[in-house]
Amino acid sequence: MSAATSIPGPAPAPPGQRGLVRSFLLSPLDAASWRATLAIVLGFGISILAIVLLSALFSTGGSLLIWIVGIPIIGLGIECSRLFARVERWRMTFVDGRPLTPHAYAPLGWPPRSPYGTWTRRWAEAQFLDADRWRDVVYVLVLFPLAILEFSLVLSLWAAALGLIATPLVLAGLWSTGFHALVGERHVDVTAILAGAALVALVVGLALVPVAASVSRGLVLLHRAVVQGLLCVDPTAALRQDVERLRGSRSAAVELEASELRRIERDLHDGAQQRLVVLAIDLGLAEDRIDTDPASAKALVADARQQARLALAELRDLVRGTAPSILLDRGLVAALAAVAGGCPVPTVVDSTLAEGERLPPAVERAAYFVVAESLANVAKHSAATRCEIGLRREPERLIVEVLDDGAGGATLVPGGGLAGLRDRVEALDGSLAVASPPGGPTVVHVELPVRPG
């Protein structure tokens, strides 16, 4: 008896393929598909508004360039493209909820903190030389044809699907309104043909529904890749920049700690330690002469007391060099007001911080020493007649600016005072920039990160 030969059936589909087929068939029931369709419809309207507005601003600004008035109009167009870029990053979260990180745009420095300084030049450089802003403009130009293509394709698919699904209802309505009376003797044949056509239309329409839903989601995901490439920071590049920044801030912190230790050691050795040595010598001489020459011993004791007072004063100044008491007790605004009051150059403090508002201690100390060192440089080297301290709090950073109308020429020399300030600021992941062309004015711009809350 021979064994029966079994014919193998078709191999079952892998689990991944079964999941894809199931996701495709259930895509019309997924809320993400409808959010994707809404995102495409919104993108069509946004693209029309963006291209009309930017065309008007750029054409108007270009025609008025000869009168200089066109420059701020073109700048307004660039800023409008930034606004549309922000809206687009938000629109791309309809299907994929992961946040998109925008580029680090160059700050415009608005509003201008003082009539002194090179605010106009800095504004023009940030507005027209920032590559990230021009990426936004390019995206707005690319968005218009992309949005039209996406909207047309999705609208056609949904219209075809819904139209085919509605075909049996339309034919039934026509038949009920007396269409069969026009057919005459071929009533049965026409009925069969219409029923078959309605059934085919219904099946094709139902098959197009998951196609339309999947295409909508796929188009939004592809568009998100375009937004990621033009309007956002590349995650790999951002991680690399974070690593480099952390490495730099760690080096700056180590160098800052070493310089602070050297400063304290130098001040102790050259100041208080010498005073204490003289104090010990005077007290020893007074002890030797107290019986034989009381008057001389009394003078030596008085001199020793003076040396003790001077040593205490120098120790107090040394401690204040670490953290002044007014900064610890009353906050940054009061400490900067005290520093400005002691500067020989007339100095004003323009602050948006509330009276008594406190920041993290490290941020307050860094801002205080930046201002104190900058004012010391102004008094020594700038020949300025006026100085201004700007203090502005933003949601995630503190901006400090020191402006003077002096001769300019300040540079970040390795080992200099400004370089030490830069190390202190970079140790907190902040940034320090100096703009000081020959002839002035000089602007020291510092940004310190402050965590919300």
d(CA 230, CA 233) in angstroms, rounded, equals 8
Listed in order, the ranges of the chain carrying CATH 1.20.5 are: 250-322
Per the listing, tokens 């200099």 go with 416
pLDDT tens string 155-170: 999 999 888 888 887 7
Residue 197: C-alpha distances to residues 159, 165, 168, 172, 211 (Å): 18, 11, 8, 12, 21
The pLDDT-based confidence of 5 (bands split at 50, 70, 90) is very low
Q: Look at residue 73 in the predicted model and tell me its pLDDT.
A: 92
Other CB atoms within 10 A of residue 202 CB: 16
According to the model, what pLDDT value does residue 86 have? 93
- More reliable by pLDDT, 441 or 8: 441
The rounded distance, in Å, linking the Cα atoms of 118 and 123 is 9
Percent pLDDT > 90 in the chain is: 18
Query: Strand pairing of 387-394 and 397-404?
Result: antiparallel
Q: How confident is the model at residue 176 (pLDDT cuts 50, 70, 90)?
A: low
pTM greater than the 0.85 cutoff: no
Q: Return the higher-pLDDT residue of 267 and 51.
A: 51
* pLDDT attached to residue 318: 62
Looking at residue 50, what is its pLDDT?
94
Residue 76: CA atoms inside 13 Å, Cβ hemisphere, count? 14
Read off the pLDDT of each residue in 45-65 and give the average, rounded to a whole number. 92
Q: Which pLDDT score is estimated for 434?
A: 84
* pLDDT for position 19: 64
CATH top-level class of 325-449: alpha beta
Whether 394 has a pLDDT exceeding 90, the answer reads no
Regarding the domain delimited by 250-322, which CATH topology (the fold level of the hierarchy) does it fall under? 1.20.5
pLDDT band at 151 (very low <50, low <70, confident <90, very high): very high
Q: Categorize the per-residue pLDDT at 177 as very low, low, confident or very high, splitting at 50, 70 and 90.
A: low
Spatial neighbors of 392 by CB under 8 A, at least 6 apart, are 113, 351, 352, 398, 399
Mean pLDDT computed over 282-300: 77
Distance of alpha carbon 297 from alpha carbon 283, whole angstroms:
8
Q: How far apart are CA 101 and CA 382, in angstroms?
A: 41
84 pLDDT band (50/70/90 cuts)? very high
- 281 three-class SS: helix
pLDDT at 384: 81
How would you label 152-168 residue by residue, b for 16+ Cβ within 10 Å and e otherwise?
eebeebbeebeebbebb
Q: How far apart are CA 139 and CA 87, in angstroms?
A: 12
**The pLDDT of residue 110 is above 50:** yes
Task: Tell me which DSSP letter residue 27 carries.
Answer: G
User: Hunting for tokens 């700007």 — which residue is that?
Assistant: 390
The answer, yes or no, to whether residue 203 has pLDDT greater than 80, is yes
Q: Is the pLDDT of residue 248 over 90?
A: no
Cα separation of the two ends of the chain: 86
Whether 40 shows a pLDDT value over 90: the answer reads yes
pLDDT in tens, 317-331: 666 555 567 777 788
* Confidence band for 262, pLDDT divided at 50, 70 and 90: low
State the average pLDDT for the chain.
79
pLDDT at 311: 73
Segment 416-441 mean pLDDT: 78
Residue range(s) in the chain whose domain bears CATH number 3.30.565.10: 325-449
Extended beta strands in 108-186, E state = none
pLDDT score of 365 more than 60? yes
Query: How far is the C-alpha of 432 from the C-alpha of 248, rounded, in Å?
Result: 13
Q: Tell me the C-alpha distance between 151 and 157, whole Å.
A: 10
The per-residue pLDDT for 113 is: 52
Q: In this predicted model, which residue has the larger pLDDT, 130 or 108?
A: 130
- Mapped onto helix, strand or coil, the DSSP state of residue 53 is helix
Provide the 8-state DSSP code for 400: E
Q: Which helix (H) or strand (E) holds 431?
A: strand 431-435
CB distance 452 to 360 below 8 Å:
no
Report the alpha-carbon angle 158-51-129, nearest 5. Answer: 130
Give the position of tokens 């007391």. 305
Read off the pLDDT of each residue in 13-42 and give the average, rounded to a whole number.
77
| CA 236, chain centre distance (Å) | 17
